[in-house]
Structure 1
Amino acid sequence: MKRGIDMGTQLSKDADKLLCILYKKYLDKRKENVPKNDAKLCGGSNLIRDTLVPNWSLSDVDNTCWELSRAGMLKVNGSNNSIYLVWLSDSGIVYMENRFKNGVKEVTEFLTSFIP
């Protein structure tokens, strides 16, 4: 059986957007020579909401992170639906590398399509 994420993985629009935002943050950290293990770390749902998606409710951030975890894109530590730590999975990074072959520029262009 082949491991990893199927490129046909289907995500909600919010999950797709959050994954792109987290991946862009990862790429920005790597560009600053942050080690991979540290660059993968995204913080908890409070930090993600406060710094990356301030217009989202905490519940929406939690639910979207859990969705991405079920899809294999993120690793999540939490309990009772409260998320304490999120990090990009290796499979999630590979999925995004294959999706956005031109790296941060292409991800940024994609994310601008969400701006009204």
Structure 2
Amino acid sequence: MLTNDAKKLLYGLYKEYVARRSIGVSRSSAKMFRSAQSVHENFFPEWNISDVEDTLRELGRNGYVKNFYADNTVYNCQLCDDAISDLENLPKDIFLNVTDFIAKFIP
């Protein structure tokens, strides 16, 4: 089970993945999200950086992202195929509700 913060971050990363794919970015590149600092600055600036870091670790423990570490921080993270598959297979109405929910809380 994921915390609500982990779900928000996961859906935010997936939304960005879909946007990248829609403009022709390759799958392998679209799944890459660089560091916790980058995720914080580009997608969740209202969150505390340590919360982004902790949430990426939670997603990693649950198999939704693969984190690469350097200097005891997430240096690079990648959205996993299982995460993409799980989100692609959500019923359309659930995904739209989740997307609407995220849009209200994530600028």
TM exceeding 0.5: yes
Residue of structure 1 equivalent to 2:83: 92
Residue of structure 2 equivalent to 1:45: 36
- Runs of at least 5 residues in structure 1 that lack an aligned partner in the other structure: 1-9
Residue of structure 1 equivalent to 2:105: 114
Task: Give SS of 1:92's match.
Answer: helix
Select the structure that is richer in helix: 2
Aligned-pair identity in percent equals 37
List structure 1 runs of 4+ shifted beyond 6 angstroms: none
Decide whether the 8 Å contact of 1:62 with 1:81 is kept in 2: no
Residue of structure 2 equivalent to 1:78: 69
Residue of structure 2 equivalent to 1:16: 7
Name the CA distance, whole Å, in 1 between partners of 2:92 and 2:72.
34
Task: Give SS of 1:86's match.
Answer: strand
TM-score (norm 2): 0.87
